[in-house]
Amino acid sequence: MKKYSRVIKGTIKVLVVAFMILIILNGILNRFDGAYNTIGYRTYTILTGSMEPKIKPGDIVLVKKVAEDELKEGDIITFKEDNRIVTHRIVEKNNNGFITKGDNNNVKDSEIVKENNIIGQVKLVIPKLGYVLVFLSKPIVISAILIIIALIIIWDVFKN
């Protein structure tokens, strides 16, 4: 019984530390343009269903900075539009930029996406992790996790 208890406690510790690292890494990637410019990747949580069924609300997309000439029709890009971040598919490329459309939308986007508005190309979709990160990023949840870690450490110290 003690063996299983140690395994369970060890697993919980590893999961808590892994989630904390994930939160910190996500925070660094998203809050500091310097980190994005250095490593070339950034994550975004998808909030709408415009790209369903490929990308659903709550999914996280890993976006890589790429040169405009690397992009082609069919690629999914993340870009800035009217002070918001949008992730849609390129349906047409012309001399003025890119015409995009959400997979779940009936019409193409009205604005042409210019090169300077492109954040990058979607390289990876992680289902539902966005909901987890949003929840775990709340100050009350971070505080609770830190308290739990502290209690586990104190318990281990005084138990031995």
Q: Catalytic amino acids?
A: 50, 88, 109
Strands (E), the chain: 41-45, 60-64, 76-81, 84-94, 97-101, 118-126
28's enclosing H/E stretch is helix 2-31
For residue 13, the cross-strand partners are none
Distance from C-alpha of 114 to C-alpha of 118, rounded to nearest angstrom: 7
Q: What would the two tokens of residue 132 be?
A: 């987890």
